[in-house]
Amino acid sequence: MTDAQDLIERFNAAWAVGDLAAVAEFLADDVTYSPDPWDGPARAIHGRTAVTEAFADHLGPGPVLGPAWAAGDRVVCEWRWEPAEDGSVLHGLDLYRVHNGRIAAKDVYGKITTGPEEV
């Protein structure tokens, strides 16, 4: 496991238990967060304080996380939500860029399908 991958695994663990203070510690001062449209306006959010505020309502139990893997300073983590009543599934991935031991960017990409797929 690379240092970048380990960082994201620890970030995900803090996220899963709803520890906003710990999540914020993983972020670079000049972090950029680019959510998918279902998270609000499809615009980038800049800076640790603003990104932490954006994350505040999303922490805790959520999607099923798949494995994270890294290539250099980039880490990808797949995820999927449990199927909705109509059988549709929201799944996708988060793409992270790590710099100097902190998350410098988090980009979210997702899609909705008509059935569950392995993450």
Tell me the average pLDDT across 13-40: 89
pLDDT, tens only, 61-119:
778 888 899 999 999 999 888 888 888 888 899 999 999 999 999 999 988 888 655 54
Number of independent structural domains in the chain = 1
**Residue 33 CB-half CA count within 13 A:** 20
CATH number reported for the structural domain that contains residue 12 in this entry: 3.10.450.50
pLDDT tens digits, 57-75: 888 777 888 889 999 999 9
At residue 57, the pLDDT reads: 81
Does the residue 7 lie in any domain? Answer: yes
Residue 34 has pLDDT above 80, yes or no: yes
E strand segments, 2-119: 27-34, 45-46, 64-71, 74-80, 89-99, 102-113
Residue 119, domain member (yes or no): no
Stretch among 36-40, 49-53, 72-76 having the lowest mean pLDDT? 36-40
| Domain membership flag for residue 105 | yes
Using CA atoms, how far residue 33 sits from 25, 26, 85, in Å, is: 15, 13, 30
* pLDDT at residue 41, rounded to an integer: 63
Q: pLDDT value at position 39?
A: 57
Domain with 105 in it: 3-113
Most confidently modeled range among 15-24, 31-40, 63-72, 97-106: 97-106
Quick one: which of 49, 64, 63, 68 has its CA closest to 9?
Answer: 68
In a domain, 70, yes or no: yes
34 part of a folded domain: yes
- Cα–Cα distances in Å, from 82 out to 38, 58, 68, 114? 16, 16, 19, 12
Please check whether residue 29 lies inside any domain of the structure: yes
